Amino acid sequence: MTSHRRLRSWGSWVPDDIDRLGAWTNSVNAALGLAVAIVGVVLGGPPLERLDTILVGGGLAVVSAYNLHRIAHHTLEHPDFVRAGGILSLWLVVSAVRIDAATPGVLTDAALCIGVLVFAVSALDFVAQFRGRPGKCRWARTHGPRVSAAAVAAGDTLRRWHRSATSSIRFFLSRDGVRLNTAAILVGIVAGLGAVVFRITIFAAQAVFFGATLNPGAVSFAPIHVPNLFGALAPLGPLRYALVPAVGGLIVGLVIRRTTTAIRGHGVPEVLESLMVHNGQIDPKIAVYKTVSSSIAIASGASLGREGPIVQIGSAAGSYFGAFVHSRYTRTLVAAGAGSGIAATFNTPLAGVMFALEILLSEYALTNVVTVVLSAVTATAVARSVLAFTAVPGVREFLVPITYHIVTPSLEFPLYAGLGVVAAGIGAAVVRLLYASEHLFQDRWDLPGYLTPAIGGALLGVSVLLTAVLLDASPLQSATWLFGVGYGTIHSSIAGDLTLLVLVALAVLKVVGFSLSIGSGNSGGVFSPTLYVGAMAGGAFGVLVNAAFAGTASAGAYALVGTAGVFAATASAPLTATLIIFELTGQYTIILPLLAVTVIGSEVAQGLLDNGTIYTEALRDKGITVQERRIGSLEDLAAKDVMSTDVDTVTVGTSAMDALRVFQQRSHRGLPIVDADDTVAGMLVRSDVEPLVTVAGDTAETVAVCARDGGQSPSTAVEELGTTNVVTATPDTNLLTLVDRMARVDIGRIPIVDTDGSLVGIVTRTDVLAAYDRIPIDDVGDRQWALPDAGA
């Protein structure tokens, strides 16, 4: 019992503001360091290893003893360094001692690691002591403040990482974390089932429109031979290729008229609008309406894709379940639903995750990543169990019996770079033509809204008949090429089965066809059409390359890369494009050209589209300012880049009344207190003096009463009113560190000082926000951006 009390009393001499754990760890380190040194003396072995062991063990003991001395004399300025290094070194020393004493080499290596770690940490802390005593050491007088500043910055970074990891663990074990993760799984289940239902609905609808003649939805179910509209219109001959899409468009128009205009178009802009303007609020009924309208549109031949509808379906599920978690997580669930829909409908979980993060959220916070991944994994698992997807990369509609790779790198990499530029030009043209068509139908033609999809469908049918004449093909072949999602034609291009004339013609006519379909107000996605156009353009580029250069990959390789290039150019999403093409085709050997073409295509297209995308142009038309998350940009700026150098101050000895006059004249809320040498001595905020002067007024009688009662008067010096425990920074401190310090102690301004502690500037929250707002304008042109909300 007595020994237990002694153990508890050990460290009682340590002041309350320093954790006693530092004293314990350094005490144990000193003893273990001495033990390691003794082991080096006693054990045999190579003389150099024995010397290393003795020196390291002795050095550990000396440094730990020195830290104990500083703790006892209340001079330990950076206990976090010593504590962290002490705990880690304690663990390493114990592990080393447990090793068999017969292997001094291993023990020496472990002891050496311990010594280097502890010595480096303690040395930084030791040199920092000379910041207040520059006369002790010439080297420390010159370099000590710089090393000290580096040590403080490193400590801030480590503490920030520690807080982030700790808060993440606590969050995922908290009630909110459990609710969010559970909701993510439920959203994934609904999105996976939604993808299955959507396919079944397309299959049923196309059986009504085409029977077993055409498969515009590219569904893999066995065709059903039932009476259908296409067969009923057989007496009309080729005209039925225009009538069937027109009928489908008319039905879609009536559905939109009776439900909501939110289901028009490709759906992703509506999801982005809900994320940016409505905090992710989406009417769940939209999922039902979108399923019906898009199934009818695609099944009747509209040149559209499946991803837009499934994105809206998954997003509606995310919005619904978002009502059961904190409102700040609703946006994350909406994006998770959209990504899981992509993952389920294409069997591409990685691309689904990246779609949500890169296109919808534009940020990669850990909470977002975990939520989206949980949802995408669940949705893919559900879809695979029903749709018989394989667990390996590759979807049967995109698989070809050829493995593409780079044949001559020195020749082909420049060619692929050229393909990236071509893809950017095509992508920009696709976006411009798409929205020009939309403006034509909606603004120029004064027609009832329910008729425009029918007109668009009829014009699409006419383009099919023109294609048959132009390419000397049957109308059925032309319809197979241009109707629906077009996966079969993409497969033919990747396999290298199409001629140059066919590739060029289909690329142009597909752009026209899906612009008519979307512009007229039909309901469907734009992802598959952009893949289609990219495959045709890339295939044509490959044919020309093969004709001009020997030793190059076949045209199919360029077609495969082109599919990703055009989509990346239209959506400004190079990673999503790369991942989805890899997962669809399973062609990893061509990943380097994929990355190069998608990045080049995205960058060049951003300049051509004034930083817009196929998804954000619709928001611009509505007057919605699109915001971009600037991850890491604050780390690229230092305090000297944004600080105000013309700083208003108050000197030591200034009265509260005079300080208030400065506040009133300059409209400041905080002023640094400096001494005669312009060294920061404190910080004064307006609330420190305003109540005092307001109560005291200007009369001598009131002032006397305040003084007689032991209170403070308007003549009280500012150093007695303000705080002397000032948080400062150097001009080289990055803005992210400044923001972290402001948030940690809840202050709105930080004085910037040089190595001597003299004031050189000040940074306020307004300065940081202004710098944050300027970064995208300087980097990407004249586009105007909105600041992200506080929860972003």
pLDDT of residue 692: 65
**Average pLDDT taken over every residue of the chain:** 76
694: pLDDT confidence band, cut at 50, 70 and 90?
low
Considering only residues 44 and 486, tell me which one the structure prediction assigns the higher pLDDT: 486
- Helix or strand (DSSP H, E) at 121: helix 104-128
- Of 362, 358, 428, which Cα lies nearest the Cα of 614? 428
431: pLDDT confidence band, cut at 50, 70 and 90?
very high
- Of 309, 297, 267, 290, which Cα lies nearest the Cα of 453? 297
Considering only residues 124 and 512, tell me which one the structure prediction assigns the higher pLDDT: 512
**Residue at token pair 């032991």:** 710
Q: What is the 3-state secondary structure (H, E, C) of 598-646?
A: HHHHHHHHHHHCCCCCCCCHHHHHCCCCCCCCCCCHHHHCEHHHHCECC
At 565, the amino acid letter reads: G
pLDDT tens for each residue of 219-276: 877 777 778 899 899 899 899 999 999 999 999 999 998 888 888 887 888 888 888 7
3-state secondary structure of 760: strand
State how far the Cα of 171 lies from the Cα of 513, in Å rounded to an integer: 49
State how far the Cα of 36 lies from the Cα of 41, in Å rounded to an integer: 9
Q: Look at 23-32, 127-136, 190-199, 578-587 and tell me which has the smallest mean pLDDT.
A: 127-136
Integer-rounded Cα radius of gyration of the chain: 35
First to last CA, the chain: 55
State how far the Cα of 403 lies from the Cα of 238, in Å rounded to an integer: 39
**Residue at token pair 């379909």:** 517
Note whether 266 and 518 are within 8 A (CB): yes
Mean pLDDT, residues 705-717 taken together = 54
Q: What is the pTM of this model?
A: 0.64
At 454, the amino acid letter reads: A
3-state secondary structure of 392: coil
Strand 650-651, strand 759-764: pairing = unpaired
pLDDT tens for each residue of 309-327: 888 889 999 998 888 887 7
Instruction: Check whether 781 has a pLDDT greater than 70.
Output: no
Instruction: Check whether 375 has a pLDDT greater than 90.
Output: yes
pLDDT tens for each residue of 294-312: 999 999 999 998 887 888 8
State how far the Cα of 273 lies from the Cα of 622, in Å rounded to an integer: 10
For residue 525, report the phi and psi dihedrals to the nearest 5 degrees. -100, 165
Strand 650-651, strand 670-674: pairing = parallel
* Half-sphere exposure at residue 281, Cβ-oriented, CA atoms within 13 angstroms: 4
- Helix-helix angle 330-346:175-209, to 10 degrees: 40
- Of 247, 216, 217, which Cα lies nearest the Cα of 229? 247
pLDDT of residue 626: 64
pLDDT tens for each residue of 1-51: 444 444 344 444 444 434 455 565 567 667 766 776 676 666 555 555 556
- Helix-helix angle 330-346:307-321, to 10 degrees: 140
pLDDT of residue 51: 60
Q: What are the counts of helices (DSSP H) followed by strands (DSSP E) for the chain? A: 32, 5
pLDDT of residue 774: 64
153: pLDDT confidence band, cut at 50, 70 and 90?
low
Considering only residues 53 and 646, tell me which one the structure prediction assigns the higher pLDDT: 646
For residue 265, report the phi and psi dihedrals to the nearest 5 degrees. 75, -155
* 361: DSSP letter: I
**Residue at token pair 């225009």:** 242
Instruction: Check whether 701 has a pLDDT greater than 80.
Output: no
Instruction: Check whether 135 has a pLDDT greater than 50.
Output: no
- Check the CA dihedral 610-613-616-618 and report its sign: positive
pLDDT of residue 9: 43
* Residues pairing with 89 in the sheet: none
Note whether 650 and 671 are within 8 A (CB): yes
pLDDT tens for each residue of 593-634: 999 999 999 999 988 988 888 988 888 777 766 655 444 456
Instruction: Check whether 377 has a pLDDT greater than 80.
Output: yes
3-state secondary structure of 554: coil
Mean pLDDT, residues 404-425 taken together = 92
413: pLDDT confidence band, cut at 50, 70 and 90?
very high
Instruction: Check whether 390 has a pLDDT greater than 50.
Output: yes
Mean pLDDT, residues 772-781 taken together = 48
Tokens, residue 698: 């200007």
Note whether 558 and 541 are within 8 A (CB): yes
- Check the CA dihedral 724-729-731-735 and report its sign: negative
DSSP code string of 641-663: HH-BSS---EETT-BHHHHHHHH
Note whether 64 and 58 are within 8 A (CB): no
Contacting residues for 613 by C-beta, under 8 A, at least 6 apart = 431, 570, 571, 572, 573
pLDDT of residue 35: 73
pLDDT of residue 365: 74
For residue 419, report the phi and psi dihedrals to the nearest 5 degrees. -65, -35
CA distance readout (Å), 489 to 534, 711, 780: 12, 87, 37
| Number of Cβ within a 10 Å radius of residue 58 | 18
Instruction: Check whether 552 has a pLDDT greater than 80.
Output: yes
- Of 114, 83, 103, 84, which Cα lies nearest the Cα of 19? 83
- Check the CA dihedral 70-72-74-78 and report its sign: positive
- Of 109, 119, 114, 111, which Cα lies nearest the Cα of 81? 119
Note whether 349 and 188 are within 8 A (CB): no
Note whether 256 and 449 are within 8 A (CB): yes
pLDDT tens for each residue of 85-111: 444 454 444 444 434 344 445 444 555
CA distance readout (Å), 556 to 9, 328, 492, 537, 565: 78, 46, 9, 11, 14
CA distance readout (Å), 497 to 5, 204, 216, 400, 632: 86, 31, 20, 11, 46
Across 153-167, 518-532, 686-700, 766-780, the highest mean pLDDT is recorded for 518-532
pLDDT of residue 100: 38
pLDDT of residue 102: 40
Considering only residues 753 and 130, tell me which one the structure prediction assigns the higher pLDDT: 753
